[in-house]
Structure 1
Amino acid sequence: MKLIRLALGLCALLGAQLTLADTTQYPLTIKSCNREVTFTHAPEHAVSHDINMTQMMLALGLKPHMAGYSGISGWKAVTPEMKVILDGLPELASKYPSVETLLNANVDFFFAGWDYGMRVGGDLTPQTLTPLGINVYELTESCAFVMKRPAASMQDTYNDLRNLGKIFNVQDRATALIVQMQQKIAEVQTSLPATKPRVFLYDSGEDRAMTSGKLGIPHALIEAAGGNDILSDIDASWTRINWETVVERNPEVIVIVDYSEVSAEQKQHFLQTNPALQSVDAIRNNRFIVIPYVQATPGIDNVLAIETMAKGFHPQ
């Protein structure tokens, strides 16, 4: 949350330097995945889905434009800091909102992603909501589920922040936040050694491992922190793989995503006691790093994930 306060403080410094060209001119057309979305004015009753997208909107000072949020309490623990910034903003659904829920809240904008509140062929999609007067902006990283795109990078998150800045006419705040994130990542990367440990990200699963290929943001975070993602050749976003693949690629470090009913400690215990994984270097040497869900998904806390992983990859 310190990042939010620092970024908003920087807004005041940058605001005086921005020209009138940075003011949104409506109607505005924004690219969202493989679609174009047109806004005649800034949304007034927006809803964000999931903790990472809600955090982005709140960091941009968009709470007055929001009807609420969804998909947080039903899945992830809300930190005391997050409770403070959510105060006064209703959670419309603890997991997935229905179309009726959005209509009852008079929602005019839905910020979500594929596999982050929306699924192909589901009830909540741009195709079902747009005719009802609800514009949808899709999380850039999640576009891999509906179109061909390159490997995930921090540019995906910067793109979302820039587009939100344009949509809501708060481009100065978006610029400030992006600059702050870039500066912090640059500080981390100036001291990284040339050696890169082999890294595997473990989200969940016992029969098979839920993880991320090169199209998911964890790939970008591992690389930015000076690690070598063992699944960098997997042309997928969030996906499942066999444990045989993990053993073959022999990670030196395992990053555990902490959320849901199964704790990070329980996940680590499963990995350490699984007979099939005992030859893996990370397990033999007890090299585990834990990051919360909000840091492992596209958003402003990706900076914290990069800082944490860089220290864990290169303890020296």
Structure 2
Amino acid sequence: MSMNRPAAAALAAALCLLAGACGSSSAGRADDDPAGAAGSKSGYPVTIDNCGVKETFEKAPSRVVVMNGASVAEVSTLLALGLGDRIVANEQTYGMSEVPGRAAAIKKLPTGDVKLNDAYDIPREAMLGLRPDLVLSTTSYGFDRKNGFATRDQLKAVGANTYVSPQGCDQDTSKMTIADSYRLLRDMGEVFHVSDRAEKLIAASEQNIAAVTAKVKGKKKPKVMVLFSNMSMGGNDFGSVVAKGVYNDILARAGGSNAFENAAKGSFADLSKEKVAATDVDALVVIGYNDPNPAAYARKLLKEFPQWPAAKNNTYVTLSDSMYLGPSNDLAVRKIAGMLHPDAF
């Protein structure tokens, strides 16, 4: 997901207060196919360079801990690759998914019965007590000593490899694209010796997206507002509006553009109601993060800003995990394209 870890903690605190063009996404099909997921020991050791740290794997990990990070990218990638049985503690959840059965599968995963810290994540001593052999973090924040987390060196000392997801090394995910979702799949495919499965998922996603982009090629690109439902990460009325990141790549493939791309240098913009009202918005993409009714939030916004073309045409779609870093971006591309260019499908 293209959200930094401090923002993740803010999102979690706020929560406390408050079908593809060429067939189904390949990532969805793999979730329920654990057969052959365990990589054979041949092909090891495997060494990858991750944020300037060389991580060497002597065998496929069997005690994986997935940190929170307000993401489901890592846990969804493991499930898509059929590796759910390797997870001993998962702290990621959105409560919903575009992939049938994925939210339920995530809910069934063990959490390690860990008492989480103020960032809704796993503190140092609890992490070491889980005896992991691989720890996945959305950004480098998850290994920051100052925030009470186990460092990569501390985990290495107890035999655990570590991995920071693409674009998470400097906690700036504003340059993230769909290619980073594929990189995460490829890296995990290599680590667990299931690269053939990762490549099949990637090929299916690329095929699905290519089919959509071919249908919307040359069409006018509507201006889209992308935001989280019922959340604020800033001091203004609209603090969860997307400015940059993988979202924009998804919009572009779907034949749209971000109405607020230039509103901030980072991934998110913190906007006043006046700024939002003064911008032409042709369509809404509302991202639900454990929100049981993001559609109600979308309708509320359209009623609040009746001058928008989106309001006049009732043009919106609600999405969840397919809009983030992860294995299901093709589903978001297809759904958004269908909303923006219904005549093309």
What range describes the TM-score normalised by the shorter chain of this pair? 0.7 to 0.9
Distance 1:7 1:62, change over 3 A: closer
Matched with 1:282 is 310
2:161 is equivalent to residue 135 of structure 1: yes
Give, in angstroms, the shift of residue 112 of structure 1: 2.1
Taking the TM superposition and a 5 Å limit, the aligned residue runs for 1:1-316 are: 3-4=26-27, 6=29, 24-26=43-45, 28-49=46-67, 50-72=71-93, 75-77=94-96, 81-82=101-102, 85-86=105-106, 89-92=109-112, 95-114=120-139, 121-124=146-149, 126-127=151-152, 129-143=155-169, 145=171, 151-194=175-218, 195-203=220-228, 204-205=231-232, 207-214=237-244, 216-233=245-262, 234-261=264-291, 263-274=293-304, 277-292=305-320, 294-316=321-343
Distance 1:116 1:53, change over 3 A: farther
1:260-301 deviation line (CA, Å, top 9, x unaligned): 247313422441343xx3433223332111112x11211112
TM-score normalised by L of structure 2: 0.74
Give, in angstroms, the shift of residue 250 of structure 1: 1.5
Distance 1:86 1:210, change over 3 A: closer
Decide whether the 8 Å contact of 1:126 with 1:136 is kept in 2. Answer: no
Give, in angstroms, the shift of residue 238 of structure 1: 4.0
1:124-179 deviation line (CA, Å, top 9, x unaligned): 36546445543221121434525xx7732111011111111111111111111111
Give, in angstroms, the shift of residue 59 of structure 1: 1.4
Q: What is the letter of the counterpart of residue 109 of structure 2?
A: L
Matched with 2:20 is none
Unaligned runs of 5+ in 2: 1-23, 36-41
Give, in angstroms, the shift of residue 87 of structure 1: 7.9
Distance 1:124 1:81, change over 3 A: same
Give, in angstroms, the shift of residue 67 of structure 1: 1.6
Q: What is the letter of the counterpart of residue 166 of structure 1?
A: E
Decide whether the 8 Å contact of 2:283 with 2:315 is kept in 1. Answer: yes
Distance 1:313 1:163, change over 3 A: same
Unaligned runs of 5+ in 1: 13-22
1:66-119 deviation line (CA, Å, top 9, x unaligned): 2231132xx534787126645863123585233333323211211221399677
Whole-Å Cα distance in 2 between the matches of residues 222 and 119 of structure 1? 33
Count the aligned residue pairs: 297
Structure having the higher strand fraction is 1
Q: Which has the higher contact order (CA 8 A, sep 6+)?
A: 2
Decide whether the 8 Å contact of 1:7 with 1:176 is kept in 2. Answer: no
1:202-222 deviation line (CA, Å, top 9, x unaligned): 1133722302222x2211111
Give, in angstroms, the shift of residue 45 of structure 1: 0.6
TM-score normalised by L of structure 1: 0.80
Q: Secondary structure at the match of 2:89?
A: strand
Give, in angstroms, the shift of residue 307 of structure 1: 0.7
Decide whether the 8 Å contact of 2:284 with 2:316 is kept in 1. Answer: yes
Whole-Å Cα distance in 2 between the matches of residues 117 and 289 of structure 1? 32
